[in-house]
Structure 1
């Protein structure tokens, strides 16, 4: 055989590999191999980077050849993982926990979510969602896993339940997360402002204040290209959207100048 399994692929459990392999082989038999495997050349052979289940399936079909994307050189461990994860993201072969772990691992490796998004070849918003999950207390993660609350609701609930020493009132956070499921987008935005402006309020008081209507005004800002590019860079470094970064700069500037 010219193709050998790489070290990352070798760590995959036999049970995981064989699950649904008959169905995959039948699909390939009917429709062909829609996605080539990925390999790199080494000492007269090819080392598999991504596509172990597809390789097993075509062996089951007694194929003598398999379409492959051939890399010019051996990828390092991070690159190999990125190729495998991004391919599986596209093919939807990963479970939600696997996707989440991939995003968290690459976020820790590269330092920000946009770099992780680029390395994995997936949308920034998807990486952002999974990285937020990593911040949560285990009890709040359970609520997200059970689909009782959304990640953003759990994160906001945890933030407003955090003490000055960094510890979290977990029970208060769980109650807040459940209540936030009934909040509209304006109330959630109001709660964020209350947390910044009135951090000493209790969790229940913050939630009650957020339910009250507030006066807002929406602005559209036109700026020179160099400033727009600077805002994009700042948003990347801050792991925020451009709108969130712009709001943060404006609010901080007004507060520093004594206008609010």
Structure 2
């Protein structure tokens, strides 16, 4: 087990290194000068040269890449060209809201997807299954931003249950959670649709296993057999999707 984990970590490190090299090369190939972008088109050449030296843009590309890797290793992500502030500080400031929002959305999507997948798998080919699959297809097709606007229009503007924007801070946890509810729902429903479809497929695959037939032969109903014996064996692909969704939700919330 330890050897497998070490191999996976080495594979992850190599993948990240290759991805970083490709991204760095693409950024270098793209036209434009960050220093001239920050100073404007009317900047004097000596001013541009001074800023390039300050940002480290006057050194060879390979040296800049190695400096960037070294900075990443110690948590120095550089300076934002747009906001002219350290990137690490910007990420840290946003994590106070983005991380709870991502966890909130992931909890909602899991709470919605698991029961829906269990119902659909237990009633495969029947009305509940068709209804759940239709709802998940709609959830996948509806854009997040459009659904978010509908939520704001209904619950914030028409009903006045939530605020249309802003975040009050964590001094009042209940007010903070309330402010995150509409964004969390808008992020959670499309992810719940994907998760429900994946879990339904995994549960249907489990239905053909011998231990499910044995559980049914002992008198368990299909929902009972799925809940007691099928869910744990169907969680491997589901946990993979959950990890990917958390990364997607956190990255989207930070951006």
Pairwise TM-score range, normalised by the shorter structure = under 0.3
Q: Greater strand percent: which structure? A: 1
Of structures 1 and 2, the one with the larger relative CO (CA 8 A, separation 6+) is 2
* TM-score, normalised by the number of residues in structure 1: 0.26
TM-score, scaled to structure 2: 0.27
Which has the larger helix fraction?
2
